[in-house]
A and B are shown apart, each in its own frame.
Chain A
Amino acid sequence: MTTAAGYNFGYLDENSKRMIRRALLKAVAVPGYQVPFGSREMPLPYGWGTGGIQVTASIIGPDDVLKVIDQGADDTTNAVSIRRFFAKVAGVATTERTAEASIIQTRHRVPEAPLREGQILVYQVPMPEPMFRLEPRLAETRKLHALADYSIMHIKFYEDIARTGHIATSYNYPVMVDDRYLMSPSPIPSFDNPKLHRMPALQLFGAGREKRIYAVPPYTKVRSLDFEDHPFQPIRADGTCALCGSRESYLDEIVTDDRGGRMFICSDTDYCGTRAAGQEAAE
Chain B
Amino acid sequence: MAYVAVKGGERAIDAAHGWLAEARRGDPECPDLSLTQIEQQLGLAVDRVMAEGSCHDRSLAALAIKQARGDLIEAAYLLRAYRTTLSRFGASRPIDTDAMRLRRRISATYKDLPGGQILGPTFDYTHRLLDFALLAGTPPPPAPQATPKREAAPRVTGILAAEGLMRPETASEAAPADLTREPLAFPADRSMRLQALARGDEGFLLALGYSTQRGYGNAHPFVGELRVGEVSIELQPPELDFPIDIGDITVTECQMVNQFAGSKTEPAQFTRGYGLSFGHSERKAMAMALVDRALRARELGEEITAPAQQEEFVLLHSDNVESTGFVEHLKLPHYVDFQNELEKLREIRADALRNAAE
Contacts and interface: CB of A to CB of B under 8 A. Distances in A.
Interface centre among A43, A77, A84, A188 (most CB of B within 10 A): A77
Interface in A75-97: 75-78, 80-81, 84
A131 interface: no
A48 interface: yes
A139 B312 contact: yes
Contact of A77 (B8, B77, B87): B8
7 contacts: A41-B77, A47-B329, A71-B334, A166-B348, A168-B348, A187-B337, A254-B6
Contact of A42 (B6, B81, B337): B81
Interface string B162-200: 000000000000000000111111110000000000000
Given A47-B328, A165-B348, A254-B3, A171 B87 contact: no
Interface centre among A38, A39, A71, A250 (most CB of B within 10 A): A71
A171 B337 contact: yes
Interface centre among B186, B187, B322, B336 (most CB of A within 10 A): B336
A46 B322 contact: yes
B2 A164 contact: no
A25 B326 CA distance: 27
Contact of A81 (B13, B325, B333, B342): B13
Interface stretch (A146-154, A198-206, A235-243): A235-243
A164 B348 contact: yes
Nearest to B341: A170
Given A47-B328, A168-B348, A252-B335, A76 B8 contact: yes
B327 interface: yes
B351 A45 contact: no
A27 to B, nearest CB: 14
Given A77-B13, A80-B9, A211-B184, A189 B329 contact: no
A126 B326 contact: yes
Contact of A126 (B77, B328, B329, B342): B329
Contacts of A15: 87
A189 B340 contact: yes
B347 A45 contact: no
Interface residues of A, number: 69
A217 interface: no
Contacts, number: 159
Nearest to A269: B7
A71 B336 contact: yes
Interface of A: 7-8, 11-13, 15, 19, 36-43, 45-48, 50, 70-73, 75-78, 80-81, 84, 107-109, 126, 136-139, 164-166, 168, 170-172, 187-191, 209, 211-212, 235-237, 243, 250-256, 263, 265, 267, 269
Given A47-B328, A170-B343, A165 B351 contact: yes
Given A76-B7, A139-B187, A252 B340 contact: no
A109 B83 CA distance: 33
Contacts of A237: 339, 342-343
Contacts of B87: 13, 15
Given A75-B8, A108-B334, A138-B186, 18 more contacts: A36-B185, A38-B181, A46-B322, A47-B326, A47-B328, A107-B332, A136-B312, A137-B186, A164-B351, A170-B340, A171-B341, A209-B322, A211-B183, A235-B344, A237-B342, A243-B3, A251-B339, A256-B2
B324 A45 contact: yes
B339 A46 contact: no
B236 interface: no
Contacts of A107: 332
B10 interface: yes
Contacts of A243: 3
Contacts of A166: 344, 347-348, 351
A75 B7 contact: yes
Interface string B135-174: 0000000000000000000000000000000000000000
A172 B340 CA distance: 10
